[in-house]
Chains A and B, each alone.
Chain A
Amino acid sequence: MRWVDALRTRFFWWRHRAAWDAQLEADLQFHLEQETADRVARGASPARAAREARLAVGSVESAKEACRDLRQVPGLEPLWRDLRYAVRGLRRSPMFAGMTVTTLAICLGTNLIIFTVVDRVLLRPLPFPDANRLATVVNSFPRAGKDHDGASLTSYYEWRGHLPAFASLSAFRYGTAVVGDAGSAERQDVVRVTPEFFTTLGVRPTQGRAFTDADMTPGQDASAIVTDDYRQQRFGSRSLIIGRTIRVDGHPRTIVGVLPPGFRWLSSHARIFLPLSSTLAERSVNNRYVSGTEVVARLTPTARLPEAQAEVEADYHAHASEFPWAKEIQDAGFRVTVVSLHADQVAFIRPTLLLLQMGALLLLLIGGANLTNLLLIRAGGRAHEWNIRRSLGAGRRDVARQVVVETLLLASMGGLTGLVIGAGGLRLLGLGLAELPLGGTARLDARVVLVGLAAAFAAGGLMALPVIRFATRGGLTTPKAGGRTDTATRATERLRHALIVAQIALAFVLLAGAGLLALSLERVMTISPGFSPDHVLTGRVTLPHETYPDDSARAALAARAVDAIAHEPGVMAAGLSTDVPVNGPSEDNAMTVVGYVPPPGVSPILHNRYGVTGGYFAAMGIPLRQGRFLSSADSARRLRVCVVDEAFARHYWPAGAAVGQRVFDGPLQKRTPSDAFTVVGVVGSVPQSDLTDSRSTGGIYFPFWYDAQPAFFLALRTAQRPESFDPALQRIVRGLDPDLVVDDVRSMDVRIDNSLAPRRSPALLAGLFAMIALLLAAIGTYGTVSFAVALRRREIGVRVALGARPEQIARQFLSLGMRLLIAGTLIGASGAWLAGYAMQRILFDVPHVPAAILVGTAGVMATVALAASLLPSNRAARLEPTEALALE
C-alpha cells in the first residue's frame, strides 16, 4: 500500500520534525555554499560568486516553505492548534469546564456501574466453550402453583441418547456435604452429577477422569472430582492427587479427577463434585415429574432450541400412558420448555438489570441535553469571536473542527472522570453486595473501559452537532448583540427549550419510576408476615446419610437437639422444621383430602410440606387458629396427625371445621385408610419463598418422625438478642455429634431483611438516579431562564424605564419556566405511564401507575422548576434600567 507508506513517512518526519528542519536547513546552506565555491573555482570574485549563486539557487525561504508543506501530516497540525486553543479556553472558564466534566462524569459513571453488572451477568457467555449451545429443560405446572422446576432423573435416563437434537445430556443436583475429619469437618456445597456432565460443558479434567456409569450405582459411588482450587487448598504443592481420599459425610471417597483452574459451575460454590448415583427405583417412571434434579444439555451444532423442545415434548407425549398420574399432570397445566442455560440462570434478575440500565441511560440523556444546552449558550457567547474568525477566512470546516475538538476534549475528560467514579462506585457496591449471579465481582475491565470511553466520545460528538449547526450558520447571538433575532437564532432558542422540556420529561419518568419502586418496596415491607420474626434465631443442620441412614435415626437426633436447646437458659421456645419462612421455595407435594372431590379439570395443588417437632410454632410465633399445635410427643409417639395452615383449610373446607379431617400425603393410590393423617389444628399461613409469596395454596405440617429429612432448621425464641445464642447453638449440636455443624445461622429479622434486598437495591439506585436527574433538570431550567434574562437585558431596561412594574418583568420569565415545566410534565407523565407498564414484572401490588405517584412527581418537578425559574426571574425584576442599558 503506497499511500500507507507515504503516510508513515509523513508521520516519521512529523515526529522528528526538529531534526528534519535542521537537516533541511543544513542541506540548503550547503547547496548555496557549494554553488558559490563552484563559481569561485571558475574564477569569479567571492562577492560576485555569492550574488550569482543566490540568483541561480533561488529563494532559500520559499524552498523551505515548500518543503515544510510536504512534511505536514494533513489536519494534524491544525488539530493540535485547536486542542491547545480549547485547553486555553476551558482554563479561562473553569466553572463551565467543571460543570460539564462533572455532569458527564456522574452520568457516565452511573451507566458504567450498571453496565459492568449487565455485561457480567447478561452479556458475557457462560465460561464454557460454545456456551450458546448449552440448554436446560424446565418443567412447569402452572395450575398446581409451580412455574419453574427442573427435569427429573427419570427423564434424564429416558432421554439420554434418544434425542437427536442433544449432542450430550447430563443431570445434576445441588446439595451439601460435610467434608473433612471429625472435629474439623465443614459443611460445603457439592454438586452431584452424571457421567456426561463435564463433557457436556466441554470441560476436560486436568488429571484423572470424569465419572463413568460404574460410579452411578449406590455402593460403588465412593469417588469424587475436585476443583483445582480445592486441590491447592487441601493438598498444597502436591500436584498429583488422583487416588487420594477425602472424607465426605464421614466416609472416605477417592479422588478420580481434578478440574481445570477457574472451573466453576454457575452460581454454585461447590468445589467437590460427586456421582449422582441412584437406584433403579429412583429412576422408575413413577418419579418422572419429581423435582430436585436439573439437566444440562449441549445441542448439536445444527439444532435449535425449538427443535430440541419438539423432541422433548414428543418424548413426554409418547410415554405419557406409562405414568400413573398422567391425568393429574395434565390438569396441572404441565408444560415443558427447552431454554438456553444462560437465559434460564439470569431470568430472575434480567428485568431488574435492564430496568436499571434504562434508568441510567435516561440519566445520561438528561445530562446530555443539559450539556448541549450549556454548550449552545456558551457558543452564543462566542458567536462574535467566530464571526471574526469566519470573516478572517476560517472556513466552516475550521469552525466545526474547533467545536468538535473542544467538545471531545470535554467528553474525554468527563469520560475519564466517569471511569474513576464508576470504579469507585463499584467498589462501594462490592462492599455492600454479595457476589454477582454466576459468580465473580463487578469490576471495571478493559472491555467496559473501552465501552465507557466510546460512549463518552459518542456523547461528545452528538453534543457538538447542534453547536456546529448553529455556529456555521451564524445562528448564535450574544447577549450583547441585543435585539437581533433572525430565524436561525429562533431555531437555536427553540432547540434549547426543547432540550429543557426533554430534561424535565425524562427526570419526571425517572422520578416516577423510582417512586413506583419505592411504593412497591413499601407495600412489601408492610406485608404482615403471619408470624413474629423478632427475637427468633434459626440455623440449619444437615445430617450425613451414612451416620443417619433412616428416619428414626434422624428423628432421634432431632429430638435430643430440640430438647437440649429448649433447656438452655434464656431460651423461651425451641423447635425444628424442615424449612423456615422467607427461605425460598420449599419442598411441596400434592395432597389427597378424604371426602374432597376436585371439580373436573381442576388440578391437584402442590402444597408446601414441612416436618416439625418441639415447640416450632411457638418459637416462630405462628398463631394457632383451631385445635392444637404439633408437639414433641407427636413425633415421639409416631402419631399420624398433622396441622394445616389457614389457606389449606380454606381451600378444602371453606365451611370451617378442619380439625378431625383426614389427609393423605401425595396422590391417592392403593393406600390403606390407616395411612391417612388426622388434622389436629389449623395455624396461620406464613410466606415461604419471600414476603411476596402470593401462593396461598396452603401448607401442611407433619410430625418430624414421618418426614425426617436430613436437612432441617433449628429455631429458638428468646427475650435477648437472638444472635447471642449462635455459640450456644453450635455448642449444643457439636455436643450431640462432633461431626455436625450448624450453618446459615440468622435471625428471622435478618432473613426477612435479606429477602428484601432484591427489591431494595433497585429502589435505592433508582432513587439516586432520580435525585441526580432532578438536580440536572433544575440546573438546566435555571440556566435557560437565566440566559433568557441575559438576552433581554436591554428590553427589560427599556421596559423598566418606561414604568413596567417588577412583578410584570418577573412574570414574563416565570411564565417561560412554567411553559417549559408544563410541556415537560405532560410528556413525562405519559412516559411514566408507559414505564409503569414496562415495570409491571418487578413491581409488587402496584397494578398500574397510581395517580398519587403522578401527582406527587408533578408536585416535586413543579417545585424544583419553579425554584429554578424564580431566582433568575427575580433578578430580572430587580434590574436597574441604567444598569441594563449601560451594558450596550
Chain B
Amino acid sequence: MGKPTDLVQGTLDFLILKTIALEPKHGWAIAKRIQQISEDVLQVPQGSLYPALYRLERQGWITGTPGEAESGRRVKFYRLTKAGRAHLERELESWKRLSTAINLVIRATSAEG
C-alpha cells in the first residue's frame, strides 16, 4: 500500500459529490467508497472529510439529515441537492476537458523526451 496521495481541496469536493450522486451516504461510507474505488490510493482523513462536508452543505450543494446507521447510531446522511447535481455536471464537464488537455500535454512532452 503506497503512501496516500494528498488531495487538493477542490478535488475532494468533486469526489464527495460524485460518491453520493447515486445514493445518500454517511461520512464514513463516503471515505470508504473513495478509498475503494481509488484502490486505496486516496485515503481521506476526518480532518479533511468533515470540514469539506460542512463546506459543501453551507454552499447548498449537499444536505445532511440525521438517519440510522448500520450500528444503530444516528449519524448524518448526505445527499446531493438539485443545485449540487447541476454543479457536479459542470465539474465533470470541466474535469474531462482538463484531464484530456493534461493527457495531451503529457503525451506531447513524453514524445519530445
Contact = CB atoms under 8 A, between A and B. Distances in A.
Contact of A27 (B26, B57, B58, B60): B26
Contacts of B54: 67, 70-71
Interface string A3-29: 001100110000000000001101111
Contact of B50 (A6, A28, A34): A28
B76 interface: yes
B51 A63 contact: yes
Contact of B60 (A6, A31, A56, A63): A6
A6 B43 CA distance: 28
B79 to A, nearest CB: 15
B59 A34 contact: no
Given A10-B58, A70-B55, A27 B75 contact: yes
B75 A66 contact: no
Interface in A219-248: none
A67 B57 CA distance: 12
Contacts of B58: 6, 9-10, 70
B67 to A, nearest CB: 11
Interface residues of A, number: 30
Contacts of B59: 2, 6
B2 to A, nearest CB: 14
A66 B51 contact: yes
Interface stretch (B10-18, B27-35, B95-103, B104-112): B27-35
Contacts of A63: 45-47, 49-51
Interface string A365-404: 0000000000000000000000000000000000000000
Given A5-B60, A26-B73, A56 B43 contact: yes
Interface string A46-74: 00000000001111101100110111000
B90 to A, nearest CB: 14
A33 B46 contact: no
A9 to B, nearest CB: 5
Contacts of B46: 28, 31, 57-60, 63
A35 interface: yes
A9 B45 contact: no
A570 B27 CA distance: 104
Contact of B57 (A9, A29, A35, A66): A9
Contacts of A28: 46, 50
Contacts of B27: 27, 30-31
Contacts of B76: 23, 27
Interface string B52-65: 00110111100000
B38 interface: no
A58 B45 CA distance: 6
Query: Which of B51, B69, B70 lies at the interface centre, i.e. has the most chain A CB atoms within 10 A of its CB?
Result: B51
Contacts of B69: 30, 34
Nearest to A33: B71
B82 interface: no
A30 B55 contact: no
A38 interface: yes
A71 B3 CA distance: 32
A30 B26 contact: yes
B50 A67 contact: yes
B91 to A, nearest CB: 16
A586 B79 CA distance: 86
A62 B71 contact: no
Nearest to A32: B46
Given A9-B58, A70-B58, A30 B71 contact: yes
A57 B74 CA distance: 20
A76 to B, nearest CB: 15
Contact of B47 (A26, A29, A58): A58
A59 B60 contact: no
Nearest to A65: B47
Contacts of B75: 23, 26-27, 30
Contacts of B28: 30-31, 34-35
A26 B47 CA distance: 15
B47 A59 contact: yes
A57 B47 CA distance: 8
B87 to A, nearest CB: 11
A58 B76 CA distance: 20
Contacts of A59: 46-47
Given A23-B76, A30-B75, A62 B47 contact: yes
Interface of B: 26-28, 31-32, 43, 45-51, 54-55, 57-60, 66, 69-71, 73-76
Given A23-B76, A66-B50, 11 more contacts: A6-B58, A10-B58, A26-B73, A26-B75, A28-B46, A30-B69, A33-B73, A34-B71, A37-B71, A67-B54, A70-B58
9 contacts: A24-B50, A27-B76, A28-B50, A30-B26, A30-B73, A34-B32, A34-B69, A63-B51, A70-B58
